[in-house]
């Protein structure tokens, strides 16, 4: 549904002139006005009826002083192909009105609704035809939504300038180039991509969306220039569908989805992201969607992508600056403010840290505040801003990959602590303080399939990206790499392994296999040498011991020297039913497969049963049933008649998860779980 507002000056109006001419003082002014309004509304009803109620044009204001009069119109159209200007002229012809200085622009529902008293004075049949959509009738639903009108009367060069000013030229300028390659000369064709905007705050996201919408509208690739903003994280599922239904001709903006820590909110957030992704895919031909994602919450982006796995997304994000680029940004900003660029020398920049524009802006603001206090108004010197360096908590793709993984709260929290610890050391050193260095060796414990090895690899990459370790390669080792066959071979073997692992992460899986009930043999020598090398290489080598919880605890209990060298004991919890479902969704998405809505209830039942069994396999269990479901799907399609569509070939149904053969690792024999 589209809304317009128009205005013009009146040259003449048959209806107004008729009542003024025939009044002769017999009727009051109020009576005359009422009759004028009634005739104008009768014309609106008649005109709408003639055009099968595809459009309503009505006067919302008119001066009865024709010699110096003005008239305003509102137009409501439920067909984007209708030409609003042509219909206004058709309506005023029916009213016997002549106008000049005519202006028209698209507007929002709220602007039209401000005239609701005049609008709803129209025949109720007309109103019902236009407001048949339940979403438009429900004030409660509309309270969750609002609209923004985007000014499209802007030059192409101005859009490019805005992209540069918003500091997202690396991703936004190329998209503007793609948009302006060719103008759509036919009817509205749909949206080739949807948009994900990574931003520090919503206001930035809105400005980016406005630039893109203005460009698309100029190229005739949008029906409307209204942005529909919906609070889609409501627990009320209906608001999702109604928002997209009503936004079928406009851009819809989803406010950013903040990360939360408690389990309930995480589950709710996943479900919301899943529904949003499904809505994006279902309405992608009619609705252009902008998803705002905070830089710290990459997981939401991936969840939405997984859910809308047949939809193309264009990602827009701010530029980042390091070293010389960051200093140049500061100098340019100071020059724009009319401040000598030499002031840039007073702003500390770490060459190893990647800065976003808002982070550099904050440093500039702090520096200028201090200059005002210390140099210009020295009487306020005691008020100099005291600032603690913000600790950079993440660097590199490995960190983002870890944060986007499902579950794993314990290792995610630990890696944040380690990065903060090392970055804080940099701050101490910058202030002439040499802090003591603590070892960060760690133990990973968890059942099979809980991603211990995968996380160890990511940890190694994160340590390299954040310059905690010079190389950051994962060196994997087992009992055979540490224990010699003969007396005197074990210690040299362990030391050789540490020389190879220098500057890297040494990952020893099933570390308790060094002894395995054989106390006093070569395993003890290996452990003693291991403890010694862990202490000697604590500055440039990190050791991770991994294994099952019970065996690892027994192993550590018998080696107090080893236990004292371990800084972090990280337990990898078994996945919950919902987390297992997320893993299944991720596996399917990476294979280009979609899960039907009914699959969720089916597999949650399967996962709930599996979680009751010890060592059920976690992620490996999900892989097992996913592969079996794919096999069942091929059998189902082979038995069906007719040629299957591409959608059918790419969709797993609930029945594909029937009669799965799953081996429960806590029992000796496998059995069929009869779901």
What's the rounded Cα separation, in Å, for the pair 145 and 17?
A: 43
Say if residue 446 is exposed, middle or buried (CB neighbours under 10 Å; 0-12, 13-18, 19+).
buried
**What pLDDT score does 47 carry?**
84
Which CATH superfamily, name and number, covers 396-572?
A: P-loop containing nucleotide triphosphate hydrolases (3.40.50.300)
Q: How confident is the model at residue 405 (pLDDT cuts 50, 70, 90)?
A: confident
pLDDT in the model for residue 247: 55
Q: What is the mean pLDDT of residues 76-105?
A: 81
The reply to whether 147-317 and 396-572 are identical in fold is: yes
Q: Does the pLDDT value for residue 299 go beyond 80?
A: no
- Boundaries of every domain in the chain: 2-132, 147-317, 323-383, 396-572, 577-673
Q: What is the pLDDT of residue 297?
A: 62
Lowest average pLDDT, out of 55-64, 200-209, 313-322, 583-592, goes to: 55-64
325-349 per-position pLDDT tens digit: 889 999 988 888 888 888 888 888 8
* pLDDT of 177 above 90: yes
CB 482 within 8 A of CB 530: yes
The C-alpha atoms of residue 343 and residue 202 are separated, in whole angstroms, by: 31
Q: Is the pLDDT of residue 603 over 60?
A: yes
| Conformational region of residue 220, where left means phi above 0, alpha means psi within -120 to 50, and beta covers everything else | left
Q: Which of 79-83, 350-354, 359-363 has the lowest mean pLDDT?
A: 79-83
Residue 230 has a pLDDT of 66
Top mean-pLDDT range of 104-118, 175-189, 493-507, 603-617: 493-507
Half-sphere exposure of 485 (CA within 13 A, CB side): 0
Does residue 143 register a pLDDT over 70? Answer: no
Backbone φ/ψ region at 617: left (φ over 0), alpha (ψ -120 to 50), beta? left
- 154 or 264, greater pLDDT: 154
pLDDT of 221 above 80: yes
Residues 6+ apart with CB under 8 A from 214: 150, 151, 152, 154, 159, 225
**Given this structure, which CATH class describes domain 147-317?**
alpha beta
Query: Does the pLDDT at position 612 exceed 70?
Result: yes
CATH tag, 577-673: 1.10.8.60
* Residue 38 in this model has a pLDDT that exceeds 50: yes
What's the confidence (pLDDT) of residue 117? 45
Identify the band that residue 432 occupies on the pLDDT scale cut at 50, 70 and 90: confident
pTM score, whole prediction: 0.53
Distances from the Cα of 571 to the Cαs of 398, 430, 524, 564, 608, in angstroms? 20, 35, 25, 18, 21
Give domain 2-132's CATH number out of 3.40.50, 3.30.70, 3.30.420, 2.60.40: 3.30.70
- Residue 593: CB partners within 8 Å, gap ≥ 6? 309, 630, 650, 651, 652
Tell the residue number behind the tokens 């702003």, with chain if given. 347
């Amino acid at each position: 549904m589209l809304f317009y507002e128009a205005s013009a000056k009146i040259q003449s109006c048959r209806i107004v002139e008729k009542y003024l001419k025939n009044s002769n003082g017999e009727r009051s002014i109020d009576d005359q006005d009422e009759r004028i309004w009634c005739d104008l509304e009768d014309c609106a009803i008649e005109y709408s009826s003639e055009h099968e109620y595809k459009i309503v044009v009505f006067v919302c204001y008119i001066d009865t002083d024709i010699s110096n009069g003005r008239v305003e119109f509102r137009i409501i159209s439920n067909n984007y192909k209708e030409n609003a200007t042509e219909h206004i002229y058709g309506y005023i012809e029916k009213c016997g009105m002549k106008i000049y200085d005519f202006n028209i622009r698209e507007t929002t529902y709220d602007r039209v609704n401000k005239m609701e008293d005049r609008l709803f004075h129209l025949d109720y049949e007309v109103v019902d035809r236009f407001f048949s959509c339940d979403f438009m009738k429900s004030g409660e639903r509309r309270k969750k939504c609002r609209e923004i009108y985007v000014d499209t009367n802007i030059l192409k060069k101005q859009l490019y300038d805005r992209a540069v000013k918003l500091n997202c030229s690396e991703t936004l300028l190329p998209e503007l180039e793609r948009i302006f390659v060719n103008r759509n000369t036919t009817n509205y064709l749909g949206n080739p991509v949807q948009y994900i905007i990574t931003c520090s705050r919503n206001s930035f996201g809105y400005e980016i969306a406005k630039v893109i919408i203005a460009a698309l509208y100029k190229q005739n690739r949008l029906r409307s220039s209204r942005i529909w903003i919906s609070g889609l994280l409501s627990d009320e599922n209906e608001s999702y569908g109604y928002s997209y239904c009503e936004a079928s001709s406009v851009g819809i903006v989803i406010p950013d989805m903040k990360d939360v820590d408690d389990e309930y909110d995480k589950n709710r957030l996943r479900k919301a992201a899943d529904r949003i992704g499904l809505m994006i895919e279902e309405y992608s031909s009619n609705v252009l969607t902008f998803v705002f994602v905070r830089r710290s919450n990459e997981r939401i982006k991936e969840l939405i992508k997984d859910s809308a796995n047949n939809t193309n997304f264009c990602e827009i994000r701010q530029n980042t600056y390091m070293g010389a680029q960051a200093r140049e940004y500061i100098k340019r900003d100071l020059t724009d403010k009319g401040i000598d660029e030499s002031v840039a020398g007073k702003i500390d920049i770490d060459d190893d840290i990647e800065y976003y524009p808002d982070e550099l802006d904050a440093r500039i603001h702090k520096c200028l505040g201090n200059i005002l206090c210390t140099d210009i108004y020295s009487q306020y010197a005691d008020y100099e801003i005291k600032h603690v360096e913000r600790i950079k908590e993440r660097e590199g793709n490995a960190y983002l990959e870890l944060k986007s993984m499902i579950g794993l709260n314990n290792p995610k929290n630990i890696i944040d602590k380690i990065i903060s610890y090392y970055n804080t050391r940099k701050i101490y050193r910058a202030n002439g303080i040499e802090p003591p260095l603590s070892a960060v060796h760690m133990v990973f414990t968890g059942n099979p399939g809980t991603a211990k090895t995968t996380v160890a690899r990511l940890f190694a990459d994160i340590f390299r990206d954040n310059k905690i370790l010079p190389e950051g390669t994962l060196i994997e080792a087992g009992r055979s790499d540490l224990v010699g066959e003969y007396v005197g071979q074990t210690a040299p073997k362990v030391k050789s392994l540490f020389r190879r692992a220098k500057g890297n992460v040494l990952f020893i899986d099933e570390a308790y296999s060094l002894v395995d009930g054989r106390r006093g043999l070569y395993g003890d020598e290996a452990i003693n040498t291991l403890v010694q090398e862990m202490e000697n290489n604590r500055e440039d080598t990190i050791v991770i011991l991994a294994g099952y919880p019970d065996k690892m605890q027994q192993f550590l209990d018998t080696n107090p020297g080893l236990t004292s060298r371990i800084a972090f004991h990280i337990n990898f919890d078994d996945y919950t039913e919902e987390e297992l479902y997320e893993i299944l969704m991720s596996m399917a998405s990476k294979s280009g497969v979609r899960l039907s809505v009914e699959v969720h209830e089916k597999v949650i039942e399967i996962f709930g049963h599996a979680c009751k069994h010890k060592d059920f396999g976690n992620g490996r269990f999900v892989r097992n049933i996913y592969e079996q479901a794919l096999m069942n799907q091929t059998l189902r399609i082979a038995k069906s008649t007719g040629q299957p569509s591409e959608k059918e070939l790419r969709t797993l149904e609930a029945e594909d998860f029937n009669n799965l053969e799953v081996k429960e690792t806590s029992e000796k024999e496998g059995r069929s779980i009869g779901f």
